[in-house]
Structure 1
Amino acid sequence: MHKGAGATHWFIPDGYIPEKSSGSLTSHESVCVLNSSSEDAQLVFTIFFEDREPMEDIFVVVPGRRTKHIRTSTLTKDGEPIPVGVPYAIEVRSDVPVIVQYSRLDATQAENALMSVVGYAVQ
């Protein structure tokens, strides 16, 4: 059995889904997870806000030895998505070590921008 690399606890402090986009592309964000372990990774997301209670216990599975690109706009709690136009932060916990990367496509202007960073792993 392959144990995999990475960490089990990650933070992404800068999240934001713009209210509108410009041109043919849609602004979006993704949490990209690499699970190099043989076991499926059971992820639990918590979304933190400046002015409201967190959205907790959002569950996602990443199969063993696979990658998954999770659009933040698809994460919901009790049918409610992450609100657009509101800053937030992301906590990701996993039962097996994974690598977490965050990407944002900003298409709010004609000149698009793509940003990608590895999350902060807690040891």
Structure 2
Amino acid sequence: MKAYGKLDWAFSAGRIPFQSNGKEPDFISHEKIAILNTSEEEAKIELFIFYEDEEPSEKYEIELQPKRLRKVRFNDLIDPYPIRLERNYSCYIKSNVPVVVQFSRMDTGAAANANMGTMAFPAGN
């Protein structure tokens, strides 16, 4: 199968709300990415988090087997440290093989649920 996607991705509109309504874990406000690896090779993915008023984070490392999908909730990223709630952030994603990335958000801070999804920007290659 052909390897679809790009090596570099970025999104700039991250912000995980502190307030949530509903039962855990399904209705907790969160942001996540879905990563698709259609290649014949394992994807080694690095995530870098940028905030408005401090240096970028150390990298978060993710591995994804060939011809697989993986969803990663930013709320679950804890090493090297948890993503800060109620803070604007951006993310740069780097992979050793082409992958497809989709970013989505679920904000349950209000009584009515709001869900928005958007594709990340394939930077470069």
- Common topology (TM > 0.5): yes
Checking the alignment, whether the CA contact within 8 Å between 1:35 and 1:41 is kept in structure 2 is: yes
Q: Which residue of 1 aligns with 2:9?
A: 10
Q: Distance in 1 between matches of 2:70 and 2:58?
A: 20
Q: Distance in 1 between matches of 2:120 and 2:108?
A: 22
Q: Which residue of 2 aligns with 1:86?
A: 87
Question: Once superposed, which parts of structure 1, at least 4 consecutive aligned residues long, lie more than 3 Å away?
Answer: none
Structure 2 unaligned spans of 5+: none
Q: Distance in 1 between matches of 2:65 and 2:22?
A: 35
Q: Which residue of 2 aligns with 1:117?
A: 118
SS of 2:59's equivalent in the other structure is strand
Q: Distance in 2 between matches of 1:38 and 1:99?
A: 14
Quote the RMSD (CA, aligned, Å).
1.1
- How many residues end up aligned between the 2 structures? 121
TM norm structure 1: 0.93
Q: Distance in 1 between matches of 2:116 and 2:101?
A: 14
Alignment equivalent of 2:71, drawn from 69, 72, 77 = 69
Q: Distance in 2 between matches of 1:114 and 1:45?
A: 23
Shift of 1:58: 1.1
Shift of 1:6: 0.5
Structure 1 unaligned spans of 5+: none
Q: Percent identity?
A: 35
Shift of 1:27: 0.5
Q: Which residue of 2 aligns with 1:106?
A: 107
Q: Distance in 1 between matches of 2:56 and 2:79?
A: 10
More strand by share: 1
Q: Distance in 1 between matches of 2:98 and 2:41?
A: 10
